Amino acid sequence: MNISRTLVLVRHGQSEWNAKNLFTGWKNPDLTPLGVDEARRAGRELRKRDILFSVGFTSALLRAQHTMSLIFEELGQSSVPTVRDRALNERHYGDLSGLNKDEARDKWGEEQVRLWRRSYDVPPPGGESLKDTVARVLPFYCQRILPPVMRGERVLVAAHGNSLRALAMVLDQLTPETVPTLEISTGVPIIYQLNADSTVASKTVLDA
């Protein structure tokens, strides 16, 4: 029997704070009109490929939840069971949350802000490093997301740039040196087919 072990990752559409160039983290802005369009387009791209889902996982934050609901709406699957958990939240930016990124550079310097944003294990004041984010995302992946995928269910994860980087560390076998430079576009589905040992058989990025 050919089991379809399908896992689809989508970063939320553009948020109001993305548009204002603000550090967002665990703050809770909604999508912009462009972000709504990006989420709907993601749903249409998945529909073209006849990909329907058994379950969805998202964060405790509105922008990811809204993205997931719009995708399911486009797929005609608004009744799909969904799990919301802060384990999938964006990285917590601590004292940077709500600050304009250019203003943060003026305050702390270009190099320090770059280190906070792009290093693996240096957290901003009061916040999380990418390493910290990985430490909460990966157990959730192993315990909650992976089992239904391995049973042959199609699973959608709508989350955030850094929580999806954490998943990509496992799926794409990235290292602490390579994962911080990974760019994940808003509203672009990434489709993984997994082997029986949970490694990646194929990866397709639906970038229109």
Q: Which residue numbers are catalytic?
A: 12, 90
What angle separates helix 62-74 from helix 33-48, to the nearest 10 degrees?
40
Cα 84 versus chain centre, distance: 13
10 with 187: CB under 8 angstroms?
A: yes
- Beta-carbon contacts of 61 under 8 Å, excluding residues fewer than 6 positions away, are 26, 28, 89, 90, 160
Sheet containing strand 200-205, edge to edge, reads 82-84, 55-58, 154-159, 6-11, 190-194, 200-205
Residue type, 19: A
